[in-house]
Amino acid sequence: MAEIYKLIHPVKYFNDYLTREVRPDGRKFNEQRNIKLNVKSLKCVEASAVVKCGNTTVVCGIHLKLAAPKPEEPDRGFLVTNVEVPALCSHKYKPGPPSDSAQVTNFLVSDIIANSKCINLKDLCIVPEKLTWVIHCDVVCLDNDGSLVDACIMGIMASFKTLELPKVLYDIETGHIEVDDAARTPLQVHGLPIASSFAIYKLGDRNILLTDPSSYEEDMCGGVGENFIVSSNKDLLSGTHKYGGNKLDTEELERALTIAKERAYCLENVIETCITNSEPTNNE
């Protein structure tokens, strides 16, 4: 009966829940969904992670390549991120070229990673002007049930934390390259960027901030995905992204930043705990 009511009167159905200070899935306004994380899941890549936030599920895999640096940046490597949002993950997407929404998601993920300065591209340089590492981060969404950017960032960072770079020997005179897979060095990751998404819904004369919105909540709040994304790196604000939805006043913005800071602590703990548990013990 509730599903029929939701279909016939979607706005009233949504408002009835919010007026009672609860969301349709039973969560409080500032409550996030359960998170599951698994690292080193794929054996065909250098590092990987599977993230599940509620029903939103993404898989991240990292490939390494060697290339010559740019002439204008001879001592810097490359970091390339790509997010694929296929039609199988949601009814919002159709087969064929990436939709506008998928391209925006890809841009946001790349922008958050770059602005966070979590990877110093100079650390990827092997021989200035000659050889450098190229890190390809490929993220595939299996199920998009909202807050997709958050899950993508979490998957990428968990993969970075477990990535090890092989030792590379380069002969300047002959140009010969030798890769020693047995000798590996962990990638230097500066901080741990976290993205926190919010949906903004206007109920009467007030705005309601919904933390970690589901796909249904995103649709009800404007239909363009998360309305407001806060990205931070170890207590430092690295960026905010606002598109669609209602305007936020100063008090509401401060509340969103506070919630994002608390949520960042929680997600950092999840990532660190998962990586620690995945490491072999001395008895193994």
- Specify the pLDDT at position 280: 66
Flag whether pLDDT at 279 surpasses 80: no
Name the band, by pLDDT with cuts 50, 70 and 90, for residue 1.
low
pLDDT score, position 224: 55
pLDDT at 100: 83
For 50, the domain range is 21-278
Residue 11 lies in a domain: no
Q: What is the pLDDT of residues 76-92, one digit of tens each?
A: 999 999 999 988 888 88
Residue 284 lies in a domain: no
Residue 113 CA, chain-centre distance (Å), reads 9
More confident residue, 124 or 10: 124
Label the pairing between strands 47-53 and 56-67: antiparallel
Q: Which residue has the tokens 């992670």?
A: 49
DSSP string, 182-247: EEEEE----S-EEEEEEEEEEETTEEEEEES--HHHHHHTTSSS-SEEEEEETTEEEEEEE-SS--
Q: Which of 79, 23, 15, 12 is nearest to 211 (CA)?
A: 23
CA atoms within 13 A of residue 266's CA, in its CB half-sphere? 15
The widest CA-to-CA distance across the chain, in whole angstroms, is: 76
- On whether residue 13 sits in a domain, the answer given is no
Q: What is the CATH number of the domain that holds 225?
A: 3.30.230.70
Is 181 or 4 the better-scoring residue by pLDDT?
181
9 domain residue, yes or no: no
Residue 162 belongs to a domain:
yes
- When divided into structural domains, the chain yields a total of 1
- Give the residue with greater pLDDT, 185 vs 225: 185
> Per-residue pLDDT for 15 more than 50?
yes
- Answer yes or no: pTM beyond 0.85: yes
Taking only the tens place, the pLDDT of each residue in 135-171 is 999 999 999 998 899 999 999 999 999 999 999 888 8
Residue 14 falls inside a structural domain = no
Q: What is the pLDDT of residue 3?
A: 74
Residue 215 forms part of a structural domain:
yes
211 and 23 in contact (C-beta within 8 Å)? no
Q: Is the pLDDT of residue 282 over 60?
A: no
pLDDT at 284: 46
Over the chain, what is the mean pLDDT? 87
Q: pLDDT tens across 241-264, in order?
A: 887 666 777 888 888 888 888 888
Which residue matches tokens 């199920």?
Answer: 143
The predicted structure's pLDDT at residue 223: 60
The whole-number pLDDT of residue 225 equals 54
15 inside domain: no
The region of weakest confidence among 3-7, 100-104, 153-157, 160-164 is 3-7
